[in-house]
Chain A
Amino acid sequence: MPIGMVAVLSLIPFIGVTYAGLDYLFGVIIPYASALIFIAGFVYRLFDWLKRPVPFRITTTCGQEKSLDWIKQDKFGSPSRAWQAALRVLSEVFFFRSLFRNTKSELREGPSLVHGSNKWLWMGGLVFHWSLLLIGLRHARYFFIMVPDFIQFVEGADRFFDLTLPAFYLTDALVLSAVTFLFVRRMIDAKMRIISLQTDYFPLFLITGIVLVGIIMRYIVKVDVMPVKDQMLRLVAFSFEAPAPIGALFYVHLFLVCVLAVYFPFSKLMHMGAIFLSPTRNLCNNSREKRHINPWNAAIKFRTYPEYEDEYREKMKKAKLPVEKQ
């Protein structure tokens, strides 16, 4: 079903631009609307999480806590200072540190369980996300009249393998391989198949669609990039001028990106924001050293010592236990 959805979504702008001349709708109105939804939705979701309290310091400790002076603390597995926790979160964001631990368990004869290191998911995930980031960065050249040096550097590095004309981008190949891997593992591993929902496939197909159309535009159809850049510059300048003719394929690419942007805040893709907020990772493991405050800490009536002694006083006296009241 998700693949069909992406196909239909691709046809909409194609038909709209080719047969109905809706360039303005797909080139101006939808991009603005989707950018608005993306930003507002993303901020709303973040705010919706942030407004909820973190009542306890529930760090998942993945290494030695800070304790006696002569025992070596694992500063990132069990951070005790804010900068250590911050680095722990960043190591998750940039290097998927927890996923790097991944193991695969197998049942052998005996029965015997064997747990081996398994880094495929870590590698596939890392390649996928980093490729997307770099692809996003090099697209920045469409948004600046003078392309910043940093973006030029990224683009230059990505073109390192100068195999085709126009120059081949390494990230295009990487992202396609990674997305294929992420899809195939959901299909062939019975465990993955059973946990996967339609919402897990949809963004994979959507991204594949965006990348494929982009590749077709660059290497096969060779869309003229100048009107594209003009239109993008107009958009970032908040201009509502009508775009010059660009070609339906570009609008397919752009429309799928808009769909992704709209879908983003309402889906699991929000893990992009969530990873920064995860209390098991971003809190210090120092709750015995420094009191953590729970804003809703409810008053609880517990059974006090006097109540206890009232019930057991005679028995306690017989057992020669000291009592408060005789």
Chain B
Amino acid sequence: MSKYLPKLSDLKKDFEDKPSILKGDYSKKEWWDTPFEFRDGNWSFPAKPEVVEELGFPNSRKWSALDDDWKLPADWQKTISEGLKVRLKKYRSLKLYLDSCVRCGACADKCHFFLGTGDPRNMPVVRAELLRSVYRNDFPLVEKILQGFSGSRKLTSEVIKEWHMYYYQCTECRRCSVFCPLGIDTAEITMVARELLNLIGVNNNWILAPVANCNRTGNHLGIEPHTFVQNIESLVEDIEDMTGVTVNPTFNRKGAEILFITPSGDVFGDPGVYTMMGYLLLFHHIGLDYTISTYASEGGNFGMFTSNDMMKKLNAKMYHEAERLKVKWILGGECGHMWRVVHQYMNTMNGPADFLQVPVSPITGTKFTNAAATKMVHIAEFTADLIYHKKLKLDPRRNDHLKTTFHDSCNVARGMGMFEEPRFILDNVCNSFHEMPENTIREQTFCCGSGSGINSEENMEMRMRGGFPRANAVKHVKDKHKVDSLVTICAIDRASLPALMKYWNPGVTVYGLHELVGNALVMEGEKKRTEDLREHPMTGFDDEEGDVD
């Protein structure tokens, strides 16, 4: 077991000894007087000097959050306050959200990190106050005279340490923003705070290394083109072994109708690869004219967790490649933050994509008018449309060995608003779908606890704490309906939820939605199927009962 992972019994005891959600006694203290401490398991390692240099970011050095001296650049205070001023000019949201909070407390117990740590700084209102208190001290007019009155404070190196801890205990999931009567979005504040920290070299290797990889090789995992192809080809072989069907993905092919982009975790990571197999089977099933790019081989975008400029830079490859390959439109795989970027940022940042056409499903003829400008369609929208028009031959009984529940990924839920399509698909590919409790799904869904680039091994304690509310909701359906399969449409979920489930809910396995589609698809010319894509036996399809159409 990882040294960064607390014993389950210890963590449970921690919750039970102090049963209120807020831990500790703060009766005589202000939040800014309470101590915080970096320790094994609650922070992510800083970016390696070579990574920082490759990106051309400032202040590359070896350092650790456990050190007293973080080796900040000489004029770091100026950099931060200038940086904040610039961003206040660029974003109305930032200024508005720093100015207008009334501290009503509605957000306080909505954050998964607060629910999992009981740490007052993890209440979204306080997370924003971390920056707000400094902003008040530096900027507005009258309140400057009334310092103690309005809770303002000086920007010190202690504040930088605090920011580094708590802006990386926020996954930019926006759950708090759903409940805020003023619509204040803590993600907007966290994103700016992280940009500011990057300006003085306070950073996170688990974010910046993938960013550097993605820039150079085209994907977060740093897979070079030949390896990328090899890996998908090995999935093609696995599919052939299991189904007897040979699927034929093409790469960097000019003139294909559709460019398909998915997170690289689907190509390389377990269990993402099974989702990839699902896509490949689906595309073969309907005879789709598509290609996969090794250059734009990443759907995700860790630039989003770094800076606005970096998000734009990594995202630019999608349109650039679509234009070069002369495809008609882009189809995107299952991913959370990828879809936040594609849905809310891509066309604004890197559009207009006039060289593409309004997406039309070549199978059903459906025109995706909701993607008329961005020209990129979510695979769940695409597949739901296929199923609705009865274009897929599905046998949902092939997923009878699974009892499923569905996890809404935060970005798709609160930054896109896609709730029905995945549920419609799930209802059609399996017979056993149970919803988690109502305040934990759809727009109120809980984050996996590892989103926004804090999915590092060394941050394991925080991940298990932050993921606790999600895990607990899964436990509810596990106990009530014997659910053993957690279905997601997010690559970070697929990477992080297995560890969370193993810790809190052993026996629950994590699946991608299109893996279940792949299981259920009855392919033309297939051999008799008795196992799912993971080579686990399916229920009711053993030798004599086998009834393949």
**Chain A residues proximal to chain B, CB less than 8 Å:** 1, 45, 48-50, 52-68, 70-72, 74, 77-78, 80, 92, 96, 98-99, 101-113, 115-117, 121, 125, 185, 189-200, 202, 266-268, 270-271, 274-275, 277-281, 285-294, 296-298, 300-305, 308-309, 311-312, 315-316, 318-319, 321-322
Contacts and interface: CB of A to CB of B under 8 A. Distances in A.
A179 B518 CA distance: 58
A302 B312 CA distance: 9
Contacts of B404: none
A107 B16 CA distance: 8
B215 interface: yes
B414 interface: yes
B92 A279 contact: yes
Given A190-B27, A308-B218, A199 B225 contact: no
- What are the 6 A-B residue pairs with the smallest beta carbon separation, nearest first? A61-B417, A65-B417, A274-B100, A319-B226, A278-B183, A111-B15
Interface in B346-404: 347-349, 351-352, 366, 368-374, 376, 381, 384-385, 388
A89 B368 CA distance: 28
B103 A319 contact: no
Contacts of A49: 92, 95-96, 99
Interface residues of B, number: 122
Given A111-B15, A291-B347, A65 B373 contact: no
A134 B140 CA distance: 32
A57 B416 contact: no
Interface string B324-353: 100000000000000000111101110110
A270 B101 CA distance: 9
B287 interface: no
B20 interface: yes
Contacts of B30: 194
Contacts of A117: 439
Nearest to B442: A63
A111 B18 CA distance: 11
A104 B109 CA distance: 7
B102 A57 contact: no
A92 B320 contact: no
Contacts of B103: 195-197, 200, 268
B365 to A, nearest CB: 12
Interface of B: 12, 15-16, 19-22, 26-27, 29-31, 88-93, 95-96, 99-106, 108-110, 115, 120, 123, 125-126, 129, 140-143, 148-151, 174, 177-185, 188, 215-216, 218, 224-226, 229-230, 251-254, 294-295, 309, 312-314, 316-317, 320-321, 324, 342-345, 347-349, 351-352, 366, 368-374, 376, 381, 384-385, 388, 413-421, 424, 437, 439-440, 443-444, 468-469, 472-473, 475-476
B371 A107 contact: no
A300 B348 contact: no
Given A61-B415, A289-B369, A268 B106 contact: no
A301 to B, nearest CB: 8
Contact of B418 (A48, A65, A191, A274): A65
B320 A305 contact: yes
A199 B120 CA distance: 19
Contacts of B439: 103, 115-117
Contacts of A322: 252-254
A297 B349 contact: yes
A55 B91 contact: yes
Nearest to B366: A68
A125 B104 contact: yes
Contacts of A1: 149
A293 B349 CA distance: 8
7 contacts: A72-B420, A277-B96, A287-B373, A289-B371, A292-B347, A316-B252, A318-B226
